[in-house]
Chain A
Amino acid sequence: MNVLVYLLPMALGLGLAGLFAFLWSLKSGQYDDMDGAALRILPNDDLPNEQ
């Protein structure tokens, strides 16, 4: 059962990391424009040589 010593903190740590990542993304407004985000990925204007 010694494996629990590091498995448990790891599981909880990962969970907490996920929670904080989500709260951060919520706070930074990433869910404010769900439809726009789906469209903004489409244009290729970040590729300089594309013409």
Chain B
Amino acid sequence: MPETVDLSIFARPRGDGVSQIELALEGVSCMGCIQRIESGLKALPGIVDARLNFTNRRLMLAWRDDASGPAQAIAALERMGYRAHPFQADGAEQEEVRQARWLMKCLAVAGFAAMNIMLLSVSVWSGNVTDITPETRDLFHWLSALIALPAAGYAGQPFFRSALAAIRARAVNMDVPISLGVLLALGMSLVETVNHAEHAYFDSAVMLLFFLLCGRYLEHAMRRHTRAVAGNLAALKAQTAHRFHANGELVQVPVSALRAHDRILIRPGDRVPADGVVIGGRSEIDDGLVTGETAPRAVTTGATLYAGSVNLGGTLTVRVTAAGGNTLIDEIERLLDKAVASKSRYVRLADRAARRYAPVVHTTAALTLAGWLIAGASAHNAILTAVAVLIITCPCALALAIPVVQVVAAGRLFRQGLFLNSGDVIERLAEADTAVFDKTGTLTLPEPRVVNTASIDPDLLQVAARLALTSHHPLAAAVARHASQCRPYDGATEEPGRGVRAMIDGVEARLGSPEFCRIADGFEGADHPGRSVIAFHHGERFTLLTVHQSLRPDAIATVRALAALGLDLHILSGDRDAAVEPVASALDIASWRGGLTPADKVAALEAMKAQGRHVLMVGDGINDAPALAAAHVSLSPVSAADLSQAHADAVFLGERLAPVLDALATARRARALMRQNLWLAVIYNLIAVPVAVAGLVTPLIAAAAMSGSSVLVTLNALRLSRSTKSAAAENRPAAIAAIATEAPA
């Protein structure tokens, strides 16, 4: 069947007859790859430009419209050993990139201004204790004002905007006292400069902005980095569908190009790309990712299919139905809307601190003003002192205290193969006291495995595994995993839904259902739920391979460690009780329920919430999505359905369950450090505020105190990465390897 690939929805015209496309690449690991790819592609006819971004593993490809373009480039990459997937940055990622650039520009302006003003300020400070003339000092102050005012007007925008938004919403966030402090410091300094005074605080205001922008930029860079990797993973996972054109021709298109009423072909082993109704063929379907059910379902004309299921048997022709056109997904969408709407907006630790901090600071400043006026000071001096209090309490350390810890913690988790969707996940994770697991694909591995390898002759297993390479069947993939070399046998043919056969060493070999291999029934365990038996037969020799969903390799150890951390563990599964029970007993989890609908899961979580628990939900199926959204905090394995990943707070890579444990341990440690940092900021204020109230703060003291406290808080946050650096370094290759092998074929 001739088949063409249609990538037109990813291509963007660049003008002058050139189009470009972005590709996410797998397998890029070294400098040699960059050269090989770029020079190899540029040698192709019609390719105008190829540039590989090594940081995010994306290739920008430009070609003349009259040439055959990306299809031949992808084929050429395939020959070089790299798999390329068309990629389109989503709106959120583009917005992040734009934001990060803007923050970087603000940071550059603030840095320039801080350096130059400090140059002038140091001269004034040293001049004040020696022989500076008032005229020179005024000149320096005016120059400082000239630099500081426009610089702060530009670089302060991120804070001013956020503070304005908060005030409009009648709330207080950390940016309100920051903006107030900066504006007052600038205003007062300007007045003092006009009055030929000895002190001006331009340096403090701009330095404050510089430090705060550093914190904000770091936070952004962390989010952007995770989003870029998550975007690549999505591109690697993105499937293509085989769509019939009006003229009967079969075209391979990205799933995002599918529309309702399209007719698509689903081959054995394919994942169903979109919801639809079967209009031709019969097969068996594995709904594990949709409902958690592990036993296959037989489908024929008229049956409904859900996106995410796997076709086990024959080839199906399916008509795509409009999104939300079926009852199960409708139900889940409805539950999701409710869960997202009812999710109480979590108030971040930083904002909670700001709510308490801002009133205290502003009251102290007001009291200082009143106190000095009562004590008989001039209005000018009283105001000066009050403003100095506001400057010295401007929450520089407080605003850095939490983001820096978040950045360090997120970086550590990233190296361990866990991507956070937002910064406050760490705080919420640290609060979790109850963990709820889904079974299928979460506690167990997403793909089935051969479980009785120990009792099979290794040579025979090798032959079976190499034969299995030819098959598209998911169960065959479990067998093929054991092949030591990736070379299928020549002349092997697959009979869809039955098995594969080939002539090996002149003797016929068959792998497939027991009937296909002409082996009589009557073996043990065939009727065990969720367990399948594959037969293999080669000449005189034959064997039976038992395939079923096994636990993740470290599930038992991880679950034990979680229990030791004091978490209350539960399993809520959509699979039948008979399939859940053995898993629960193997993991020693007493509280488990099977056969739950998505609504049951949400109800169970709500009941726990009503008891005042903070629930961590770990799940992967589409049926888990509402529960993931309803939980206090949620994690998904990377093999999870897209919908579930979108509603999980973090996604973890690889076959192991350990990232859940790492995440909890790191989050708890990070929260402890955040608290410490907040206390450090408080102690700093306890020392600095009395000095300010007494009217003893000079610009030199303000500058020293502010930078000192910021540095202290940052160093304290860095302890998080230092204390565990060796462990993180060990895990790093594992995480990268996981990224490389993660994309399901």
Contact = CB atoms under 8 A, between A and B. Distances in A.
Nearest to A34: B55
A6 B112 CA distance: 20
A11 B116 contact: yes
A6 B119 CA distance: 15
Contacts of A40: 31, 34
B352 interface: no
B55 A33 contact: yes
Interface in B74-103: 101
Given A23-B108, A26-B101, A42-B31, A35 B116 contact: no
B52 interface: yes
Contacts of A47: none
A18 B52 CA distance: 29
A48 to B, nearest CB: 16
Given A1-B136, A45-B35, A36 B55 contact: yes
Interface in B117-147: 119, 133, 136, 139, 143, 147
Interface in B606-626: none
A38 to B, nearest CB: 8
Contacts of B136: 1, 4
Contacts of B115: 15
Interface in A22-41: 22-23, 26, 31-36, 39-40
Contacts of A36: 34, 52-55
A22 B55 CA distance: 20
Given A11-B119, A26-B104, A32 B143 contact: no
A18 to B, nearest CB: 7
A39 to B, nearest CB: 4
Contact of A43 (B31, B52, B54): B31
Contacts of B35: 43, 45
Given A26-B105, A43-B35, A45-B35, A15 B54 contact: no
B112 A35 contact: no
Interface string B21-34: 00000000011001
B109 interface: yes
Contacts of B56: 33
A32 B53 contact: yes
B105 A16 contact: no
Interface residues of chain A: helix, strand, loop or mixed (majority): helix
A50 to B, nearest CB: 14
A43 to B, nearest CB: 6
Contact of A18 (B34, B112, B147): B112
B637 to A, nearest CB: 27
Interface in A6-21: 8, 11-12, 15-16, 18-19
A15 B35 CA distance: 37
Contact of B112 (A19, A39, A42): A19
Nearest to A18: B112
A26 B103 CA distance: 12
Nearest to B53: A33
B108 A19 contact: yes
A45 B139 CA distance: 55
Interface in B479-532: none
A8 B220 CA distance: 36
A33 B55 CA distance: 5
B53 A23 contact: no
Contact of A12 (B116, B133, B139): B116
B53 A39 contact: no
Contacts of B133: 1
Nearest to B132: A1
A27 B580 CA distance: 56
A17 to B, nearest CB: 10
A12 B52 CA distance: 38
Nearest to B32: A43
Contacts of B31: 39-40, 42-43
A31 B217 CA distance: 14
A35 B104 contact: no
A3 B54 CA distance: 49
Given A1-B136, A39-B34, 11 more contacts: A8-B143, A12-B116, A16-B112, A19-B112, A26-B104, A26-B108, A32-B55, A33-B56, A35-B54, A36-B52, A36-B53
18 contacts: A4-B136, A4-B139, A8-B143, A11-B116, A12-B116, A12-B147, A16-B112, A19-B109, A23-B105, A23-B108, A26-B101, A26-B105, A33-B54, A35-B55, A36-B34, A36-B55, A39-B34, A43-B35
Interface of A: 1, 4, 8, 11-12, 15-16, 18-19, 22-23, 26, 31-36, 39-40, 42-43, 45
The 3 closest A-B pairs by CB, nearest first: A36-B54, A39-B31, A19-B112
